[in-house]
Every structure is written in C-alpha cells, then in structure tokens.
Structure 1
C-alpha cells in the first residue's frame, strides 16, 4: 500500500507540473512616473497648456530624452496639444494617435482621459460631432476607471459643451431642450465641493456663462463668466481668459454696455494672438462680428467676418474634418486587428490548455484504474495467502491432535503392557521384550518431536 501511495503522489506532481506550465496572460500594470524630475516636467507642461504653448515643445523634448515610460507618453501628449493649439490639426491627430499607442504599450492609463479629450476637441473643431462624442465618452470612461475626479469633472464639462455647440450648429434639432446646462451645473457642484478642484471650476463657469449668453439670460451670463474670469486671472490661465472675457464682453455688449463689452472682447483677442492660437483667434473675430451685427454696424461686421473667413480657410477646417477622421479610424482599425489577433491567440492558448487538462484527466483515470487493478490483485493474493496459512494452521493443529491423542494413546497402552510383562513371573523372551520396549520408546520420542515441531510451526517460530 505504501508503494501505491507513492505512485499516486508522484502522478499528482506530474499533472500539477503540466497544468502549471500553461501560458498565463498577465494584465500590464499601469506605469507611474517615479522620477521626481519627470513628474515636475509633467506638472510644468500641464500648466503651460493653458498659458504659453510655445514652451510645450521644449518640455516635450525634455520628457522624451528622460527615457521614462510615463515621460515618453506625456511628451507625445504635449506635442499633440501644442499642434492642436497651433491649428495644425492633422499633425495633432497623428501625434495623438501615436500617443495612444504609447499609452497602451507602456500602460500609462492615467493619460487616457486627456488624450481622448484632446481627440474629441479636434473632431469638434472639425464639426464632426459624432466622433467627438465617441472620443469624449471614452475619455469619461477612462476617468471613471482611473477614479480621477478631476478628469471626470473635465469630461462632463466637455460633454456639456459639445451638446450645446452641436445644438447651435446648422441643421441641429432644436425642438428638444438643451440639457447641457444640467450636466455643467452637476459637474460644477462636484468641483465646488473641494478647494483642490478650483482650477476645474474655471471652464465650468465659462461654459455655464456661454449657455446663459446663448439663451439670452445676460445677467446670469455676466455672473458666471465673471466668476470664471476672476479664477482665471488669479491662476494665470490665459487660454481660459479668452473664453471668460469673450462671454463677459458679449453679455455686457448686449445689455447696452458696449464700450466695456468690446474692451473685454479686444482683451480676449489680444490674448489669442499672444498665446498663438489661430483657431481661437478666428472664433474671436466671429464673436465680435455677432456683436457689431447686433448693433447694426454692418461695415465693421463684414470686415470682421472676412477676417474670420480668411483664417478659417487658412486652418482648413473642412479638409481637417476628413483627414482627422481617417487618422483615428485607421488607428481604431489597426487596434481592432491587434485585439482580434490577441483574441485568436488567447483562444488557441485556451485550446492548448484544454487539451493538456483533458490529457491529464485521461492519464489520471487510466493510472487510477491500473492502481485499482493492481491493488485488487495484491489484495486477493494476500487473502489467498492468509487463507492458505489458516488451512495450514488447522492441518498442523489436526496433526498435533492426532499425534498427541490418537497415536500416543495406544503407544502408552503398549508401554504399560511391557511394564506389566516385566513384573510378571512368566517366562518370556527378554531379548524380544527389550527390543519391543526400545521400539516403543523411539516411537514415543518421535511422536513428541513431531508434536513440538507442529506447535512451533503453529506459533510461527
């Protein structure tokens, strides 16, 4: 039995080794910027995104040279952002797609919301709202996956801004109420819950101000745009100021404070030129056009519209719309092909694992059957041996009984008669009697020897 137990243990060890040799696919852990210098550069780059974008390429290059995985990802992100702000949308999308690939390669999941948010803005500025909403939703999902509250606030604000902008566009269905304000106010409530989200409030105040401006509630537009301006000025957020000044200026202009309103609009226009954002500059001419058209100054309005059109043609918005979509679609297609190949590989791996498992189970069953048969054979042999020993013991006992009782009884009688004859006075052949007595003694000794031997055998000695 000990040998069988050892065989079973050995078999399970073999099966365990086979199963443990199966290929395992581990999820790639998210990379973190452990290098303080890298983290400092990333923080500096994020601050410059809303201020002096001309410095972004320098930060991007420094991050790239570190060789740090997180640094490489943010280097690509800042490059894409710089190209976007410079109205080089096609180049920006190409950089964003490469950045997406690096995020996936290095596992820097924290960057997903920002890069998808950038892609969403590129599609929105090319008026491709379908792809803009899709990219924004991906950004929001990643923000929730990462449990990044700041990113969640930003993506909710972006969604609301897209809803509002889409409804303002030509051919949009305006029969349904504009729900963007509800999303903005909900996000703003979250941002106001903690001082650490102060910067998140700036675009929210701006977007709420824009909503009330577009719906004709100028007092609320002035209130919220003013709050956005105050925070943007406090934190040096120049790009945000172009929006805050714009909505505040338009609201003031429409309420009769035209000089003051145009003062804010000109300040916003100056900042767009300072931070070198031609697309935003184009939008400022369009907003100023709206104001002069409202005031009936058609000559100035036409001049501003001409500038806006000239700039719109220069940034090639319509051409960008097609090319940007193509770039992202190519990336998504390549990604799906990669995912399909990985899925096929996983299925093949699972199939191999199943074959190994089934083979192991079959071997186990066969091995178990062999062991059981072997056990039964050994057990039967043992039983037969035990039965044979019992029969032998009984035979020996029977022999001992016969020897001690059946044979010794007449022998004792013979020996007794010899003694009686010896004591009698009758003439007998003494030589014959002596030989008879000698034979009787030898027979008694032989019987005693047999009995002793049988008893020793019965005891197993």
Structure 2
C-alpha cells in the first residue's frame, strides 16, 4: 500500500511541477554574421559553412541568395536559396515548413531544369521523412537523388546519397528490429566509404560515414569497432571545424562508454555535445542530445539530473511540435521522487499514512488506468478494422492491375498478329506484280509494317506493357531490314549504340520508322560503289533525345533532302521528326549522316 501511495502522490507532484515549468531557454550564442553585400559565389561558400551548424545564419544566407537570384534572373540561384531555406528549417525543427519549401524547390528545379540542385533537394526531403520514421518514402526520395547524381556524374552527390541510403536502411532495420537490414546498411556504408576515401578532395564527406558506422556498431554491441570509426570521425570533425558532426561523434562515444560501464565518461561526452548544440542554436539536435543524456543519467542514482535532462528534452520537443510522449518523463519523476521519499523515510522513520488517502489515490489511479485501457482497446479495434478494409481494397486494386496487364499484352499480341498478316498479304501481292517500282514500293511498305510489328512483339514479351526495350528493338529492326535485302553480318560492318533503355510506345514507334526508312535508303542507294559498307546507329540521352544514323556510302544528294517534293521516304522521316517535336539535319562527309534531336518524353529511361 505504501508503494501505491508513493506512486500516486508522485503523479500529483508531476502534474504540479509541469504547471510551474518555464519554457526552455534558447542558446545565448550569437549567430554568424552575414556580409551586407556579397556575390553569389561568396554566399554559396558561406551557406556551405553554415549548412550543418548555424541554421539561423543559413536562413539569412538563403534570403540573400534568393534576392540576388531574382535580381540577376538566375534560376539556379533561386532554387539553391530555396534549398538552403529548407535545410535551415529542417535543422530548426520546423519540419512541415521545411517540407513545403523543399517541395517548392523541387518543383522549380524541375520546371527550370536546374538539375544540379536536385540531389541535395531530395536529400532534404529524405531526411524530413526519416525524422518521422517514414523510411520507405525517405529511401524513395534518396533513390531519385542518386539516379540524378549518377546521370550527372556528380561524385560528391553520389557519396552523399549513398550515405543517406545506408543511414535510412539502418534506421529501418532498427525500427523493425531486423538484423538483416542492419547488416545490409553496414555493407552499404562500407561501400560508400570506399568512394569517399578515394580522394583527399572528399575527406570532409567521410566524417558522416565514420559517425554512421560507429552508430551501426553501437547497435550491434561491438564497442571496439565503434570506437575505431568514431575516433576517425571525431578527429576529422575537429580538423574541418564540423561542430554538428562532432556532437554525433560525442554521442556515439558516450554509448561506447556506457557499454564499458563507465557512466562518468559517457555523461561527460554528452554534456560536451549538449554545449555545442546550444552554441550552434540548433534546438532539434539539442533535443536529441538531451534524450541521450537522460538515458545515461537514468542508469545512475542521480534521478534529479535525469529528470532535468528529460524535462529539457520534453520542453524542446513540445516547442518544436514533435510527437508527444509523456510516459518517460513520468517514469523519471517517479524514480526521482521515490528515491527522495525513501531517503526521508529511512532518515526520519515516518511510516504511517492515512488509510483514507491511500484508498482515494489508489482508486483514482485504478480508475484512470481502466479508462485509458478501455480507450486504447477501442482505438485498437478501430485501427484493426480500418487496416482490414485497406488491405481488401489494395488487393482489389492489385487484381485489377494484373487483369489490365493481361489485357494489354493480349492487345499487343493481336496487333502484332494482324500486322504480320498484312505483311504476308503484301508479300503475296508483290510476288504477282511485274513492275519493279511497284514491287519496291510494296516491299518498303511491308518493311514499315514489320517495324511496327516488332514493337508490339517486344511489348507482348516484356513485363512492361507500355515501355519498349530500345536496344533489343533496334537490333531486331535492323536485323529485319538486313534480311529483307539479303545482307549478312559478314557483308556489313554494323555499329549499334543505344543508351536509352526504355521508351513509351508513342516515342519508340516514330523512332523505329525513321531508322527503318533511313537504313532502307542506305541499302538501296548508298553502297552501290562501296566495297566495305558500314552503318552506325546511335540513340542517346544528351539532355534531348539524340538519334544519329551514318554510313560510308556515296553520299546523299542534298537537293532530295531539301526539296519539298523529295522522295516519299524523306517525307516520312521529316513528318515523323515533327511528330516528336524534333529537329533533323543531314551532313555529307565521307558518306551520309542523319541527325535528329527531340525533347525527351517523361517515360523514357536511361540504361
């Protein structure tokens, strides 16, 4: 009964003390000053210095960058300023506003094609999802950033995205308590670290890897390896004055010393980390360090200081509107008050309490517990029913998607068969025609139908029912044209370079017909006096869709290309180019070279 009384009495003290707690004091450190007039290059350099340490100063820099971007009509500067603003708001704990700004930066970057900023923008978005433990969306955002960084051959961006992917995978593993994911994140960290350590230019970028590896080994209860990596990270953080990174080094050092049962050292490192976060005026990081400090102090008998650390954590969390969790502060205060009361009881020998008060407090606590239990039970049932409905709806959607895929495949199959039937009819018809020009025209039409048929064959055979595998399609198409002219691979030196992996059918069809027309023209006219014929086909993403077809033949008469009344094949090529909103030209130098550039469609992907 004494314990019940003590517990309920302490709960009362907790409520009373919460009413008297003042709002937490922000750090007194003065933010970094910003020169009143600076060039964009100077502003970028200062923003990179402030990005992880001084969020208030970073916001000022962001405003100046956007102001200068508007003055100069520099779209890249505008997007970069928005990204700096999102980073600052994230560091300050204003996650909703940070996400809004990051999405605006993403929208403007895509609208203005300022791709250099996209990896960092996706990095901010991924980190914001991570703060809410939404690891699936965090990993999806970083995967997009990694794709862009790789396409731009941005080594720094690749190093950063790889670290975020490894870190989010580790967080997902910890959240699910999945040791396989944690081991996978360890391999990902080590792989990314190889690239970061490949050049002294990237030395600063290794700090995050060392700290993250230390965290993984702390989670795996391996203090020796954790100490190896955290020491390297700490030394580099000091060398490059990366104060925020230093707080993470100190945090993992504290966890290592806790594993080694040296609580004094652990608490000392956390207090050092806390001091740095206050100097940086970084409330979100200050909140996290206070949480670790509370946990460390909770392992000692100093419950008063543990309560103070948790109170600071709770105040900052509430001020930042982070998800509330009052259970732990109640436990800390009860431990502190219980220890205090036990000491008083031992010293004074006071043991008697009023039976009436015991019963009242006990019944009140029991009633509160029962009400909370009933509420939680009904909440659980509601959520369970909702989850079942969602699962059923998702299954219906998946079933419909599978049916639609089957129908699309069947449609492509039937179109392919119908086109092949038409091709066969044209072949039979041409065999009865004696006029050679007419036979050639029917033969050209038959080959055009074959070019379209190959696309539907590719779509029927692949899992994707609306994206064409362009390399496979190009190889099959050119092979078909060669067979129709009776040309073997020994008679022709053929080079095919296709780096665009997939295209939607609306783009792939005109491309295939253009290639068919031009190579057919080469076989007809280019190689009459050429002993070693050569043809080269290139299809690449060069910002725009780039198609080049060249041969070493006699060279095309440019009058046929430029004349409005040119051959039917030339007219087809020009019409199909306009259909793709493309521009095409012909060059004559040691043969004929056809070049077309057209805007990339949204569903085209690089290989």
Q: Give the conservation status (yes or no) of the 8 Å contact 1:117–1:135.
A: yes
Whether the aligned pair in 1 keeps the contact of 2:169 and 2:181 (CA below 8 Å) is no
Checking the alignment, whether the CA contact within 8 Å between 1:292 and 1:298 is kept in structure 2 is yes
Q: Could you tell me whether the CA contact under 8 Å between 2:174 and 2:182 is conserved in 1?
A: no
Match of 1:291 in 2: 296
Return closer, same or farther for 1:316/1:174 CA change in 2, 3 Å cut-off.
farther
Instruction: Tell me how far apart the structure 2 counterparts of residues 179 and 72 of structure 1 sit (CA, whole Å).
Output: 38
The answer on 1:220 being equivalent to 2:225 is yes
Counterpart check, 1:88 vs 2:90:
no
Query: How far is the alpha carbon of 1:155 from its aligned partner?
Result: 1.2
- Structure 2: how far apart are the matches of 1:173 and 1:185? 19
- Whole-Å separation in 1 of the counterparts to 2:52 and 2:182: 32
**Contact kept? 2:119, 2:145, Cα under 8 Å:** yes
**1:247 has 2:249 as partner:** no
Q: Which has the higher helix share?
A: 1
Change (3 A) 1:96 1:294: same
1:211–1:294 Cα change, 3 Å: farther
Shift, 1:54, TM fit: 1.9
C-alpha separation between the residues in 1 aligned to 2:215 and 2:264? Answer: 20
Q: Which runs of 5 or more structure 1 residues have no equivalent in the other structure? A: 1-35, 320-342, 366-461
Give the Cα–Cα distance (whole angstroms) in 1 for the partners of residues 182 and 124 of structure 2.
27
Contact 2:206 2:233 in 1 (8 A): yes
Q: In terms of mean alpha carbon deviation, does 298-307 or 41-50 score higher?
A: 298-307
8 Å Cα contact 1:192-1:201 kept in structure 2: yes
Q: 2:119 aligns with which of 107, 113, 120?
A: 113
Q: Report the Cα offset of residue 37 of structure 1.
A: 2.8
Match of 1:59? 61
Kept in 2: contact 1:77–1:96 (CA 8 A):
yes
**Aligned CA distance change for structure 1 residues 296 and 181 (closer, same or farther; 3 Å):** farther
- The aligned counterpart of 1:380 is none
Task: Say if 1:223 and 1:177 are closer, same or farther in 2 by CA, change over 3 A.
Answer: closer
Q: Match for 1:270 among 272, 275, 298? A: 275
Q: Determine the C-alpha separation between the residues in 2 that align with 1:296 and 1:192.
A: 44
Q: How does 1:6-85 map to 2 (within 5 A)?
A: 37-67=39-69, 68-85=74-91
Is 1:143 paired with 2:149? Answer: yes
Normalised by the size of structure 2, how large is the TM-score?
0.46
Tell me the residue number matched to 2:310.
305
Matched, 1:125 2:127: no
CA offsets, 1:152-211, max 9 Å, x none? 111111111111122222x54446653111111111121111100001110001001111
Which residues of structure 2 form unaligned runs of 5+?
Answer: 1-37, 325-502, 518-562, 569-607
Bigger relative CO (Cα 8 Å, ≥ 6 apart): 1
CA distance in 2, matches of 1:155, 1:161: 10
How many residues are aligned here? 300
Q: Residue 397 of structure 1 corresponds to which residue in structure 2?
A: none
1:51–1:236 contact (8 Å) kept in structure 2:
no
Match of 1:193 among 194, 198, 208: 198
Structure 1 position 258, deviation (Å): 2.9
Q: Tell me: CA distance 1:174–1:50, structure 2 relative to 1, closer, same or farther (3 Å).
A: same
Answer whether contact 2:173 2:182 (CA < 8 A) is retained.
no
- RMSD of aligned Cα (Å): 3.2
Distance 1:297 1:162, change over 3 A: farther
1:258-295 CA deviation, whole Å, 9 max, x = no partner? 33322211111112122222221121122123323444
Deviations 1:423-460 (A, max 9, x none): xxxxxxxxxxxxxxxxxxxxxxxxxxxxxxxxxxxxxx
- Partners of 1:177 and 1:46 lie apart in 2 by 31
Q: SS in structure 2 opposite 1:178?
A: helix
Structure 1 residue 296 displacement after superposition:
6.0
* Conservation of the 8 A alpha-carbon contact between 1:250 and 1:262: no
TM-score, normalised on structure 1? 0.59
Larger gyration radius, structure 1 or structure 2? 1
1:338-382 deviations in Å (ceiling 9; x for gaps): xxxxx99x98xx8xx99xx9xx999967xxxxxxxxxxxxxxxxx
Q: Which has the higher strand share?
A: 2
CA distance in 2, matches of 1:267, 1:197: 27
Secondary structure in 2 aligned to 1:210? helix
Q: State whether residues 96 and 115 of structure 1, in contact with CA within 8 Å, keep that contact through their aligned partners in structure 2.
A: yes
